[in-house]
Amino acid sequence: MPTQAAELVFDEATKQYPGRADAAVDRLSLTVPAGEICVLVGPSGGGKTTALKLVNRLIPLSSGDIRIDGVSILDQDVVQLRRSIGYVIQQVGLFPHMTVEANIGTVPRLYGRPRSWIRGRSAELLDLVGLSSDYAKRYPSQLSGGERQRVGLARALAANPPLMLMDEPFGAIDPIVRARLQDEFLRLHREVRKTVVFVTHDIDEAIKVGDRIAILREGGRLAQYDTPERILREPADEFVAQFVGADRALKALALRTLGELTLAPADGVDGVPRLPAETTLRDALAALLAAGAERGLVTDGDGRALGVVSREELLR
Amino acid sequence: MTLADAFTPGTFLDALRFIPHNTGLLLSKTGDQVELSFAALGIALVLALPLGLWLGHRHRGLTLALGVSTLGRALPSVVLIAFGITVLGVGFWNNTVALVVLAVPPILTNAYFAVDGVDRDVVEAARGMGLSETQILFRIELPLGVALVVAGIRIAAVFVIATATIAAIAGGGGLGDVIVNQPTYGLAGVLAAALCVAALAFLAALALGLVHKAVMRRQAPRT
Amino acid sequence: MILASGPVIPDFGSGSSCEVSNGWFCTEWITGHWGDTLQPALLQHVELSAVAVAVGFVIASALAVAGFRKRWVDAPVGSFADFLYTIPSLALFELLVPLTGLTETTVEIALVSYTLLILYRNMVEGLRSVPDEVLESARGMGLTRLQTFVRVELPLAAPAVLAGLRITTVSTISIATVAAFVIPKGLGYPIFTAIQQNLFKTEILVAGGLAVALALAADAALVLVARLAVPWSRAR
């Protein structure tokens, strides 16, 4: 079974449906370095899901190429290709007639792994996605939406694929659970370090999750492909600026935490709001405004003072 | 003939007495009918089941499936038997062909809808994960749709047994032979044979019902 | 064969060349015997089927309303209808003969029994398919129980009911051919006599064809009715 993370290259990848004026995906070219999360985002009709499905050939390419670790997807047997890519969709699509364990073990079983191996791997993955081991024998109908998504993730990771494709995986989840799943996904990614292509229509999710973001506009054209910071601070054009929203400066503040700043010494400052170092600049600003304070005391995990931050510094 | 004249429930007792006196005859006729029914059902399964499953998997041929279903219902068994004997003469094939034609629609239609109706997201996930088309059909679609498939086979089985009875007028043998021959066997005999036919149909329905239940038990529990 | 003495039997002796050579489609025979053989059979067939479906509809409706309201009614009624449906038609006809004789009543009782299962199941399913929210908003708007039933539940259950009616009508027309085993009526009768008359092909083809055509016509008519009556759904 394949391991490690793969580099993914889109090379003028195009999908044109006959009879339509605009291409669904128009000469998309970008490189996703191994181990990074690339988020495809854009308005509906922008071709992001189509672009994703070009990679595992659920939708055939009209022209151009897509290469995984230098090998064109067209040079590989389509079924073998798909087995080496983890695929997660919004509705999850867990097999209702199989237990969680059997679901997770689907691709390993295709590779001929024995049931004992699958049991072990399934336990390992359930732990990784934050579910207890007694979920193994349950059936999908007995799980909540969030739990199903986690199992879907575990299933996609089971064969340790070098590449993962995720199509709005958290779209059908309620916002509170979604935030938690996003955090857990990022934690998981820090551990597992796979190349991920992640589709969403939610720009905030893209900013939170992506190492790099590819914004696709209608007609499947790439508007900008960059890190979240650069997209927020230097949108390539009017469309991107509008898409990220007029509050992009504030959004940019959500990308950094207090711990990253150089702080002024906390000498005897008193009566100011205490802010943990992990607080994002945006939340810190909100807290200071709410308290009507000019400055805040930054604390570490044990509550000890690290330094002081002022409102002006945050706004810089 | 008024209803009062016709009402002779006592004949049922005669029929019940007929059975132990003529077990050999009834068993042999039942055997013939079972043989004919099995053969026809078997052929129909071989023809219709793979076709229905495959069409359902490709999500193609809906009009065909619906058309076959309606036509199957509109074709009276009597007409099929009559055509059979007219075209093929009396022999092994005339009734077998008629029964096969009758059994194919429920098997085909149910197999089609069973596979076609599986949740598309589940199928997409399976395809995206790298299951081949055959693997998708046999490991995902068929297990999920098997209840409907078995229901179709059950319907076909009952149809075949019922029509095999009528096939007696075309040399089909079986219990129908007794039923259409009142001069030879008397009304008691006719009723006895009718009871046996009914029992046979129930047994078949029961057997397939048990298969259905066994299959359902292996599925996910509904919460 | 249990047939009361029947009417006209074609006499090959003085027939046309087509009839003598037992052709498949002797137009002279058809035109010659339309009035005395084919048309009466067709009309009897229509009558037998229509009565059976109508009676079955009434009984099934009553049962369905009861079965839908009270869960404990549903299982036994459903099982009984299923039981009746499983009995092969010829056997059921014969089993009724000692009770109701060689009469139309026997035939009708049997035909009605076969309509019950599908009509009942479809009616209950149709009523059950009405979403709770819809009922709630109806009640919230101030409709009485009866008004809700007539103006909301019935129209929403209609597609399923019409689908069941369509299946039942076609099946009944088909099964009614077997009636000829009991009474000399319906399109099954010419077919039987033809089989006995050295397999007279034209009669078999035409009578059989009429039976099939009748069933398909009824099916098409009901599809049309469904489309007109419940345009918001595609009844299968």
CA B132/CA A73 separation, integer angstroms: 17
Average pLDDT over residues C152-161: 87
Confidence at residue C101, expressed as pLDDT on a 0 to 100 scale: 81
User: In chain B, which ranges are continuous DSSP H helix?
Assistant: 3-6, 10-21, 23-58, 62-74, 77-88, 93-116, 120-129, 133-135, 142-166, 175-179, 182-217
Comparison of pLDDT for C25 and C191, the residue scoring more: C191
B interface test, pick of C90, C183, C198 with most B CB neighbours within 10 Å: C90
* Pairing between β-strand A8-15 and β-strand A163-167 as defined by DSSP bridges: unpaired
Q: Three-state SS across B148-163?
A: HHHHHHHHHHHHHHHH
* Pairing between β-strand A63-68 and β-strand A305-310 as defined by DSSP bridges: unpaired
Confidence at residue B217, expressed as pLDDT on a 0 to 100 scale: 73
Phi, psi of A89 (to 5 degrees): -115, 165
State both tokens at B207. 């057997």
pLDDT digits (tens, 9 = 90+) for B111-155: 999 999 899 999 999 999 999 999 999 999 998 888 889 989 998
CA B164/CA B44 separation, integer angstroms: 14
Nearest-Cα distance to chain B for C147, in Å, is: 34
CA B33/CA B30 separation, integer angstroms: 5
Question: Does residue A2 carry a pLDDT above 60?
Answer: no
Q: What residues of chain B lie within 8 A of the CB of A84, using their CB?
A: 130
Q: Is the interface score ipTM higher than 0.95? A: no
Confidence at residue A278, expressed as pLDDT on a 0 to 100 scale: 77
Contacting chains of B (3 CB pairs or more, <8 Å) are A, C
CA neighbor of A51 nearest in space, from A73, A30, A25, A70: A25
The beta-carbon neighbor of B165 closest among C91, C99, C175 is C91
Strand-pair partners of A297: A274, A308
Residue B223's pLDDT band (cuts 50, 70, 90): very low
CA neighbor of B56 nearest in space, from B110, B116, B106: B116
Question: 């929403």: which residue's tokens?
Answer: C156
Q: What is the DSSP letter of B218?
A: T
Question: Does residue C4 carry a pLDDT above 70?
Answer: no
Using CA atoms in the order B125, B128, B129, B130, what is the torsion angle rounded to 10 degrees?
130
Q: What residues of chain A lie within 8 A of the CB of B119, using their CB?
A: 93, 96
pLDDT digits (tens, 9 = 90+) for A125-147: 999 888 999 999 999 989 998 89
CA B173/CA B168 separation, integer angstroms: 5
Helix H or strand E segment including A86: strand A85-89
Contact A83/B130, CB-based, under 8 Å?
A: yes
Phi, psi of A92 (to 5 degrees): 65, -55
When computed from its CA atoms, the radius of gyration of chain B, rounded to whole angstroms, is 21
State both tokens at A6. 């793969």
Confidence at residue C57, expressed as pLDDT on a 0 to 100 scale: 95
Average pLDDT over residues A204-232: 90
Q: What is the DSSP letter of C13?
A: G
Nearest-Cα distance to chain C for B20, in Å, is: 18
Average pLDDT over residues A10-15: 93
pLDDT digits (tens, 9 = 90+) for C207-217: 888 999 999 99
Q: What residues of chain B lie within 8 A of the CB of C171, using their CB?
A: 73
Per the CB < 8 A criterion, the answer to whether A93 and B124 are in contact is yes
DSSP notation for C170-226:
HHHHHHGGGGGGTSS-STHHHHHHHHHTT--HHHHHHHHHHHHHHHHHHHHHHHHHH
Contact B125/A93, CB-based, under 8 Å?
A: yes
Confidence at residue C234, expressed as pLDDT on a 0 to 100 scale: 55
Share of residues in chain C with pLDDT > 90 (%): 28
Question: Does residue A175 carry a pLDDT above 50?
Answer: yes
Average pLDDT over residues C4-32: 60
Residue C152's pLDDT band (cuts 50, 70, 90): confident
User: In A105-158, which ranges are continuous DSSP H helix?
Assistant: 106-110, 115-128, 145-157
Q: Is A297 helix (H, G, I), strand (E, B) or coil?
A: strand
Average pLDDT over residues A303-312: 80
Q: Report B:127-156 residues touching A (Cβ under 8 A).
A: 127-132, 135, 140, 143-144
Average pLDDT over residues C60-69: 90
Per the CB < 8 A criterion, the answer to whether C156 and C94 are in contact is no
Question: Does residue C5 carry a pLDDT above 60?
Answer: no
Confidence at residue C2, expressed as pLDDT on a 0 to 100 scale: 39
Q: Is A180 helix (H, G, I), strand (E, B) or coil?
A: helix
Question: Does residue A77 carry a pLDDT above 80?
Answer: yes
Confidence at residue B5, expressed as pLDDT on a 0 to 100 scale: 58
Share of residues in chain B with pLDDT > 70 (%): 94
Average pLDDT over residues A17-32: 91
- Quote the distance between the C-alpha of residue C118 and its chain's center: 11
Q: What is the DSSP letter of A173?
A: S
Contact B128/A58, CB-based, under 8 Å?
A: yes
> Which residues, 6 or more positions from A10, have their beta carbon under 8 angstroms from its beta carbon?
A28, A29, A30, A31, A51, A64, A66
Share of residues in chain B with pLDDT > 90 (%): 39
- Quote the distance between the C-alpha of residue A127 and its chain's center: 20
Share of residues in chain C with pLDDT > 70 (%): 88
Does residue B82 belong to the interface with chain C, where contact is any CB pair within 8 Å? yes
State both tokens at C157. 């259950």
Contact B201/C87, CB-based, under 8 Å?
A: yes
Confidence at residue B6, expressed as pLDDT on a 0 to 100 scale: 59
Contact A79/B130, CB-based, under 8 Å?
A: yes
Nearest-Cα distance to chain B for C24, in Å, is: 10
Confidence at residue B99, expressed as pLDDT on a 0 to 100 scale: 92
Question: Does residue C227 carry a pLDDT above 90?
Answer: no
Task: Please state whether the predicted TM-score (pTM) of the whole model is above 0.90.
Answer: no
Contacting chains of A (3 CB pairs or more, <8 Å) are B
Half-sphere exposure of B76 (CA within 13 A, CB side): 33
Confidence at residue A60, expressed as pLDDT on a 0 to 100 scale: 94
Q: Is C61 helix (H, G, I), strand (E, B) or coil?
A: helix
Contact B78/C180, CB-based, under 8 Å?
A: yes
- Quote the distance between the C-alpha of residue C70 and its chain's center: 28
CA neighbor of A122 nearest in space, from A166, A157, A149, A80: A157
Phi, psi of A197 (to 5 degrees): -110, 125
Question: Does residue B195 carry a pLDDT above 80?
Answer: yes
Confidence at residue B121, expressed as pLDDT on a 0 to 100 scale: 92
Residue positions counted in chain A: 316
* Cβ-based neighbour number of residue B74 at 10 Å: 23
Angle (CA) B162 B166 B169, round 5°: 165
CA C223/CA C229 separation, integer angstroms: 10
Q: Report B:121-180 residues touching C (Cβ under 8 A).
A: 158, 161-163, 165-166, 169-170, 176, 179-180
List the A305-310 sheet strands across, edge first: A274-276, A295-299, A305-310
Strand-pair partners of A86: A164
CA neighbor of A38 nearest in space, from A262, A189, A225, A265: A225
Q: What is the DSSP letter of A27?
A: E
Q: What is chain A's mean pLDDT, rounded?
A: 88
Confidence at residue C196, expressed as pLDDT on a 0 to 100 scale: 78
The helix, strand and coil proportions of chain A, stated in percent and rounded to the nearest 5, come to 40, 25, 40
Q: What is the DSSP letter of B221?
A: P
Share of residues in chain A with pLDDT > 70 (%): 98
CA B83/CA C201 separation, integer angstroms: 9
The beta-carbon neighbor of B82 closest among C95, C175, C204 is C204
CA B32/CA B174 separation, integer angstroms: 5
CA B68/CA C214 separation, integer angstroms: 17
Chains B and C touch (3+ CB pairs under 8 A): yes
List the A71-72 sheet strands across, edge first: A25-32, A8-15, A63-68, A71-72
Nearest-Cα distance to chain B for C216, in Å, is: 6
* Cβ-based neighbour number of residue B81 at 10 Å: 30
Question: Does residue B3 carry a pLDDT above 60?
Answer: no
Average pLDDT over residues A38-66: 91
CA C222/CA C210 separation, integer angstroms: 18
Average pLDDT over residues A186-190: 90
Chains A and C touch (3+ CB pairs under 8 A): no
Q: What is chain B's mean pLDDT, rounded?
A: 86
- Using CA atoms, how far residue C227 sits from C53, C158, C185, C215, C232, in Å, is 20, 11, 33, 18, 8
Contact A110/B143, CB-based, under 8 Å?
A: no
Question: Does residue C106 carry a pLDDT above 80?
Answer: yes
Confidence at residue A1, expressed as pLDDT on a 0 to 100 scale: 45
Confidence at residue C16, expressed as pLDDT on a 0 to 100 scale: 63
Question: Does residue A91 carry a pLDDT above 90?
Answer: no
What type of residue sits at position C124? V
- Using CA atoms, how far residue B108 sits from B112, B158, B172, C122, in Å, is 6, 15, 25, 21
Q: What is the DSSP letter of A258?
A: G
